[in-house]
């Protein structure tokens, strides 16, 4: 009988968790539904303000804001902070989708729309649902996760095609070369799949690449 009570308690916990999940979805949709055209910018939370990548993220986000794009980030420090800062200082909509983590992730003060998520998968849906492009700055595992999830969704036609821009040839060219040498040459992907990715260095060129395929 005691074991049955434990099982029933677990079921109840799972059921109530569904309400929390639905609540996070509702909160995200209500907050972001009217932000207009937007880009999601990803990059390392560990990048310091004196790193050239930080300043480039500021400039990339500001360039998008001046073209009336909202900027969405993960809401934390490093590149995320830089992108929110660039968008806010340029007078644009600066969105931070923060995730509750035991370390690293503290909300930055530059997002003028700030949401906090408990579940990674809901946050991921918000990134892709409201983005017209994915802008990938230098980053680690989390950045690679967002990059390859977007590429996979585009490849498998689960979402509409959108520009995926890797910013910084010095950082990303080795990865792209590996993809070509291993995945493409060994027929793990199709030739057209590699075209999902673009590698661009200058902030203005990043914006131009997105505007070529995005109609405001």
CATH number, domain with residue 90: 3.40.50.450
What does the CA dihedral 163, 22, 84, 102 come to, rounded to 10 degrees?
-110
Q: Residue 184, class by beta-carbon neighbours within 10 Å (0-12 exposed, 13-18 middle, 19+ buried)?
A: middle
- With respect to residue 216, please indicate whether it lies within any of the assigned structural domains: no
Residue 191, domain extent: 38-211
- Mean model confidence pLDDT for the chain: 92
- Do residue 20 and residue 95 come from a single domain? no
pTM of structure: 0.91
- Do residue 26 and residue 79 come from a single domain? no
DSSP class per residue in 17-79:
HHHHHHHHHHHHHHHHTTS-SEEEEE--TT--TTSHHHHHHHHHHHHHHHTT-EEEE-SSSTH
Segment 150-201, tens digit of pLDDT: 999 999 999 999 999 999 999 999 999 999 999 999 999 999 999 999 999 9
| Side-chain half-sphere exposure of 166, counting CA atoms within 13 A | 24
H or E element at residue 97? strand 94-99
């Amino acid at each position: 009988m005691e074991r049955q009570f434990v099982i029933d308690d677990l079921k109840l916990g799972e059921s109530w968790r569904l309400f929390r999940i639905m609540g996070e979805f509702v909160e995200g949709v209500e907050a972001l539904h009217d932000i207009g055209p937007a880009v999601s910018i990803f990059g390392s939370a560990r990048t310091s303000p004196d790193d050239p990548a930080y300043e480039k993220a500021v400039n990339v986000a500001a360039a998008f804001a001046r073209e009336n794009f909202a900027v969405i980030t993960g809401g934390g420090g490093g590149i995320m902070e830089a992108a929110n800062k660039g968008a806010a200082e340029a007078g644009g909509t600066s969105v931070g989708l923060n995730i509750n983590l035991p370390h690293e992730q503290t909300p930055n003060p530059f997002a003028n729309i700030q949401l906090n998520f408990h579940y990674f998968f809901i946050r991921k849906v918000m990134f892709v649902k409201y983005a017209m492009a994915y802008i990938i700055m230098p980053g680690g595992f989390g950045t690679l996760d967002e990059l390859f999830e977007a590429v996979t969704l585009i490849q498998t036609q689960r979402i509409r095609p959108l520009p995926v821009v890797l910013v910084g040839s010095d950082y990303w060219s080795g990865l792209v070369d590996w993809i070509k040498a291993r995945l493409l040459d060994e027929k793990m992907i199709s030739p057209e799949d590699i075209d999902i990715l673009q590698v661009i260095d200058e902030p203005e060129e990043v914006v131009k690449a997105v505007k070529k395929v995005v109609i405001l």
